[in-house]
Amino acid sequence: MSLAALLKARIRATGPISVADFMAECLGHPEHGYYTTRDPLGASGDFTTAPEISQMFGELIGLALAQSWLNQGAPAPFTLAELGPGRGTLMADILRATRGVPGFHAGLRLHLVETSPVLRAVQRRALDGVDLTHLDTVDALPDMPLWLVANEFFDALPIRQFVRAAGLWRERVVGLADGALAFGLAGPSAPEELATRSDVADGGLVEICPAARVAMDEIAARIAAHGGAALVIDYGDWRSLGDTLQAVQGHAPTDPLAAPGAADLTAHVDFEALALAAPGLAASALTPQGVFLERLGITQRARALADRLDGPALDAHIAAHRRLTHPDEMGNLFKVLGLVPAGAPMLPGLVS
Ligand code: SAH
């Protein structure tokens, strides 16, 4: 039975499901889930990501994390963690760039939070020879100082959507209309997360991501207790407003309800909600990816690499630099949030 048929049977039996339940099934269903069944990244997949575009992205992030570790007194051992490491490219670049940082590799205990068995295998290959531990969830991270990076992870976590109607909130749900999956609205409800959202006018839609809150709470507890830093890179903004649920298949947008399990589903990240879930930490200003990478020296690094290239390889390198940083490409759409213990120096490339 296809995932669409399974979901329809479930809705017929027990009623409409939340957008979060729909998203969780589409992405994580043990047999039919989008991430469970494939490696979605790269030209032959459905989308590409910053670390797959250029090695410069991971190199600069590696050096920023290592500098932050030095700034906090180089505690060892410590956890180096990545959430949703995809093909392992970002971590491979981080590890290569930080080889020369005294004590960093000797002190780190590498933990990768990844649910997809397909991508776990790809990550092991990319990080061949590296001692690493795979975890299913963030709460399994060790109780130690923690330096953590998450690129395009939080956008894959299931969101709930609420519409403001006559001063009340009604949850958007997935039900059936004429036998097909269709969006609808449930009766009024009052989720605690929306108590502060009196800014939303009637008809406005707000998204909340309960799984992101749970994950941030676990991360913040470790960093507040033992030191460390979290670096979150994703598309989104400060304080979510509007319907940002989107489906992508073969590098093109598609209807989120059209082919459950076959398209990638994401939603913009509400960075304010992430910062609020880490009340014990100091949050950076939310910074565009292009600005962050420029401050870390991507132009100098790009020039150094360009010296060794010519022809099509040089053209591709120049295009990759532009794609990561230019405001019309990923430079402005993607944002960076840093979190450190209150009173600790902010991560390089970010300001408090
Ligand atoms: N960070 C990578 C990949 C982004 S794709 C990159 O930048 O290229 C999203 C990643 O998060 C994939 O590795 C996916 O399998 C993983 N993922 C999605 N939902 C997850 C969840 N609930 N728990 C753990 N990993 C998850």
**202 in a structural domain:** no
In this prediction, residue 256 carries a pLDDT of: 97
Is the predicted pLDDT of residue 197 greater than 90, yes or no?
no
Q: How confident is the model at residue 267 (pLDDT cuts 50, 70, 90)?
A: very high
Number of domains comprising the chain: 1
Q: pLDDT at position 241, please?
A: 85
Evaluate: CB of 234 within 6 angstroms of ligand 1.
no
What is the tens place of the pLDDT at every residue in 6-56?
A: 999 999 999 999 999 999 999 999 999 999 988 888 777 888 999 999 999
Of the pLDDT bands very low, low, confident and very high (cuts 50, 70, 90), residue 325 is very high
Q: Which domain holds residue 9?
A: 3-157+209-341
Q: Whose CA is nearest to atom 19 of ligand 1?
A: 156
Distance CA(288)–CA(240), nearest Å, equals: 16
Q: What is the pLDDT of residues 253-263, one digit of tens each?
A: 999 999 999 99
* Pair 191, 162: CB distance under 8 Å: yes
Does 143 map to a domain? yes
283 falls in which pLDDT band (50, 70, 90)?
Answer: very high
What pLDDT does residue 106 have? 98
Cβ 114 under 6 angstroms from ligand 1: yes
Output the pLDDT for position 339: 98
Contact assessment for residue 316 and residue 56, using Cβ atoms and an 8 Å cutoff: no
User: Does 192 reside within a domain?
Assistant: no
What spacing in Å lies between the alpha carbon of 149 and ligand 1's midpoint?
A: 12
Q: What is the pLDDT of residue 43?
A: 72
pLDDT in tens, 302-316: 999 999 999 999 999
Query: 125 CA distance to ligand 1 centroid (A)?
Result: 17
Predicted confidence band of residue 202 (pLDDT cuts 50, 70, 90)? very high
Rounded average pLDDT over 154-160: 97
**Which atom belonging to ligand 1 lies closest to the Cα atom of 150?**
1
| pTM of the predicted structure, to 2 decimals | 0.96
How deeply is 43 buried, as exposed, middle or buried, from its count of CB atoms within 10 A (0-12, 13-18, 19+)? exposed
What pLDDT, on a 0 to 100 scale, did the predictor assign at position 172?
98
**Domain membership flag for residue 11:** yes
pLDDT tens-digit series, residues 81-126: 999 999 999 999 999 999 999 999 999 999 999 999 999 999 999 9
Of 75, 58, 105, 100, which is closest to residue 296 (Cα–Cα)?
Answer: 58
User: Is 215 inside a domain boundary?
Assistant: yes
Shortest-distance Cα residue to atom 18 of ligand 1 = 156
pLDDT confidence bin for 1, thresholds 50/70/90: confident
Q: Looking at residue 309, which CATH number applies to its domain?
A: 3.40.50.12710
- Measured in whole angstroms, how far is the alpha carbon of residue 301 from the centre of its chain? 25
Instruction: Give the mutation target among 52, 54, 116 for probing the ligand 1 site: most ligand atoms within 8 A of CB.
Output: 116
Residue 126 domain-assigned (yes or no): yes
Which residue is closest in CA terms to ligand 1's atom 22? 157
CB distance 256 to 237 below 8 Å: no
Question: How much is the mean pLDDT over the chain?
Answer: 96
User: 306: CA distance to ligand 1 center in Å?
Assistant: 31
For residue 233, is it within any domain?
Answer: yes
Burial class of residue 179 in the structure, from the number of CB atoms within 10 Å of its CB (0-12 exposed, 13-18 middle, 19+ buried): exposed
Residue 166 lies in a domain: no
Supply the pLDDT for residue 223: 98
Mutate to test the pocket of ligand 1, among 48, 115, 125 (most ligand atoms within 8 A of CB): 115
